[in-house]
Structure 1
């Protein structure tokens, strides 16, 4: 078919086939298998496109009724022609929603040739399926009025027109199909079948259409209990979403489906927990109060699933619901409680929520005689001993609240975990070297930046310099002020600490140094960089004070309020100490933790320091920098006054 003819057919140019078309042009070559031969380039209605579409296919697709009539008058056998996808013109018209053309094609079908209505394409889809898939209700009505049996013909994947209509979210099509199927009495399963054993109600749950679900349940209420090949009911599919209205709708028609498990033993509440849907969990528990007793094939309740999938909000919901308290210490087939799983996954937030709940027992043993504290100690990475790392935080939290080890020698447990770490480190030595090198490169950027800024600040004095033709020309005009002295001291400390950190990081990035020594240099550099940053902030605030205090004290006050606590608030270690303290406080209370010894002094030691020092110690270290700055400045100012 040439381009000019194709364009005219698509536009619906009626001059192509005038009513007085000569009868000699009515011959259309159709092959024995019903496919139109590839006669590209021929004129009239004899040609086809590269996709095998005849002129009738094209006008049906674009909805040109008058042209369709004239082509049918020329050669009605084109109704049986198929394109490369084995679609007839009726398929094209049905998919396009051209109801008048569909009616025309049906009227052209002679008595005894109704089988053309049931012709399927390459995927096994009838014209009714195509119309239902696109949501064309009027086309569906016309086809069903001619052949109601079409509603029971599935495609090659076992999908019925009703299932396809539900996926298209067309309530009108669903109603027409259900009406026809309802008139036939007991409709076969094929009439509402879907892929992999699903039903039309499964599809309604997937697209979350309560109106369609309600109509299907009115037609066949038993659909709510039908399971697919994986053992899942429609409620299982709804549990993955947040549509609480449909959950109530299905539970109203089949409360027992909440107790149906799939092939893996998952109940709807397990699926809701794995998706983090607290609203669905709440609806299921409100309808069935014993949901907390349901366990899967591995003996896990829905709290186990939520912990394993790191669904924080579900864990929080359970912890806040006293009626679910017995779930806290439930053990699965391996003897693991939710706390065991949380420690194994190193989820700090979930461990915090569980330990803040006093009904959680932190020392339950699993079938391997391991307590959560045993699991925590085996998870420790000995190259990352810092509260910023979840495994250290979890271990210290369990240790401080009084959790105990299992019935085995602690030295053996520590030795086994360390030996595993050493073996892993040897296997991944190249990765370890790259990790240290990358860390050193990132830190050295910060240290060099601070060193550059503080070096420049030493020669750009606030307040300017005395003119050269005056006494002490070229010296700072504000040199005699105490705040200026403090500025110089803080700038010097920042420069010195950043310079030392830069040198250490230079060595830390060298492959010639052992990785344990490189780690030590990196940790030391981090500490000095934090001091440098703290001193640089102090230098900035003091320079603002020196320049603006005489004219605008309010701005100076605002700068001081935000500048000095900023470094403290940005310290991750401070925040983790605070979070750890609050977790322990919620479980033990202030009166207990402030009076008991702190066991967080060393990873495995029994520290004797007070918990007060653990809480306030970092703040004291933080304040020491400012004590050094202002103390030295005060001494220098006094000495200067004494000599003058």
Structure 2
């Protein structure tokens, strides 16, 4: 990158930037070894006025990507630079594309991991940023990355209840790729809320998206398998109350949730499953093991 331009952006020196662009407007085309533009740097550092001046000169830098495929909006979202986020969103809203589509506009552009700026915001715990992006384009809450994770998956796992609530306000029609089993360890947003141990989010998803209950991950595990593995008795009871059939569903290894609970030594989960679905023990020759693990005898 042009040294004078780099210095102006890093220091947040607006006068030096204006002078440099006056004598050499093409300096904005220069990049760092990581392929960051001046706008990427301004976004990373939170220099709102520097970013604004750059955009006045060349607003197409909004869509330029660095070596990781990140646009300036990705960068600002990762680092929580809310003032720059506001500026970039304002420019994004004037972009000549259909915001209902998933074309590579500023708000929907994906990096090499398939992440949008909203994915990056929730991954890095930037709730305020995430809410600003959702206000600008609610549809991005359901876009999938390469792991078939939407921002809703990540927000549910990380316990970002306000973000989950905002995403769930927006209805959407699932595409074919969203109906396919997710990769192992991902599953539905409800799976991820169970993984994170977030009771309020589990309650929210059970109420507003009951279709998540029966979805499985790439290994055929339903949400109760996850609760059993994590030894979360409260979630076991919530899930069984919603759909008792979950206790009898096998994953692709032929294991029901009770088997998984025994495998992981989840004593509280074993108790909860047997309390509400005692006949699940009859499917296996492990009944003695079940009762010995919970240190109680039936009846």
Name which of 220, 229, 233 aligns with 1:240.
229
Name which of 71, 77, 86 aligns with 2:60.
77
1:180–1:316 Cα change, 3 Å: closer
1:210–1:191 Cα change, 3 Å: farther
Task: Output one character per residue of 1:87-111: Cα deviation in whole Å (capped at 9) or x when no partner.
Answer: 1111111222223322312322445
| Corresponding position of 2:82 | 99
1:255–1:106 Cα change, 3 Å: same
How far apart, CA to CA, are the structure 2 residues paired with 1:7 and 1:214?
51
Task: Output one character per residue of 1:486-534: Cα deviation in whole Å (capped at 9) or x when no partner.
Answer: xxxxxxxxxxxxxxxxxxxxxxxxxxxxxxxxxxxxxxxxxxxxxxxxx
How far apart, CA to CA, are the structure 1 residues paired with 2:220 and 2:180?
17
1:225 aligns with 2:214: yes
CA contact (8 A) 1:160 1:194 kept: no
How far apart, CA to CA, are the structure 1 residues paired with 2:85 and 2:178?
25
Task: Output one character per residue of 1:46-105: Cα deviation in whole Å (capped at 9) or x when no partner.
Answer: 432111111110111122211111111222121121111111111111222223322312
| Corresponding position of 2:102 | none
Name which of 270, 276, 287 aligns with 2:276.
287
Alignment TM-score, normalising by the size of structure 1: 0.42
How far apart, CA to CA, are the structure 2 residues paired with 1:260 and 1:228?
13
Task: Output one character per residue of 1:270-324: Cα deviation in whole Å (capped at 9) or x when no partner.
Answer: 11111122211111111112232122xxxx43545x6xxxxxxx62535x4043x
Task: Output one character per residue of 1:509-564: Cα deviation in whole Å (capped at 9) or x when no partner.
Answer: xxxxxxxxxxxxxxxxxxxxxxxxxxxxxxxxxxxxxxxxxxxxxxxxxxxxxxxx
Name which of 177, 194, 207 aligns with 2:167.
177
Give 3-state SS (helix, strand or coil) of 1:117's partner.
coil
Matches within 5 A, 1:113-132: 113=97, 115-132=105-122
How far apart, CA to CA, are the structure 2 residues paired with 1:247 and 1:235?
6
- Measured after TM superposition, the shift of residue 45 of structure 1 is 3.8
- Measured after TM superposition, the shift of residue 139 of structure 1 is 2.5
Of structures 1 and 2, the larger Rg is shown by 1
1:301 aligns with 2:286: yes
Task: Output one character per residue of 1:436-475: Cα deviation in whole Å (capped at 9) or x when no partner.
Answer: xxxxxxxxxxxxxxxxxxxxxxxxxxxxxxxxxxxxxxxx
CA contact (8 A) 1:194 1:200 kept: no
Matches within 5 A, 1:7-46: 9-18=9-18, 23=22, 25-27=24-26, 45-46=28-29
Name which of 48, 71, 80 aligns with 2:31.
48
How far apart, CA to CA, are the structure 2 residues paired with 1:264 and 1:82?
42
1:135 aligns with 2:120: no
Structure 1 spans left out of the alignment, 5+ residues = 28-43, 307-313, 324-644
| Corresponding position of 2:47 | 64
1:303–1:266 Cα change, 3 Å: farther
| Structure 1 residue ranges, 4+ long, deviating more than 6 angstroms after superposition | none
How far apart, CA to CA, are the structure 1 residues paired with 2:137 and 2:179?
14
Alignment TM-score, normalising by the size of structure 2: 0.85
Q: What's the C-alpha RMSD, in Å, of the aligned pairs?
A: 2.8
How far apart, CA to CA, are the structure 1 residues paired with 2:190 and 2:21?
54
1:154 aligns with 2:130: no
| Corresponding position of 1:190 | 178
How far apart, CA to CA, are the structure 2 residues paired with 1:251 and 1:72?
54
| Corresponding position of 1:321 | 297
1:247–1:6 Cα change, 3 Å: farther
1:282–1:147 Cα change, 3 Å: same
Determine which structure has greater relative contact order: mean sequence separation of CA pairs < 8 Å that are 6+ residues apart, divided by chain length: 2
- Measured after TM superposition, the shift of residue 155 of structure 1 is 1.2
1:22–1:89 Cα change, 3 Å: closer
1:174–1:193 Cα change, 3 Å: farther
- Measured after TM superposition, the shift of residue 191 of structure 1 is 9.4
CA contact (8 A) 2:222 2:246 kept: yes
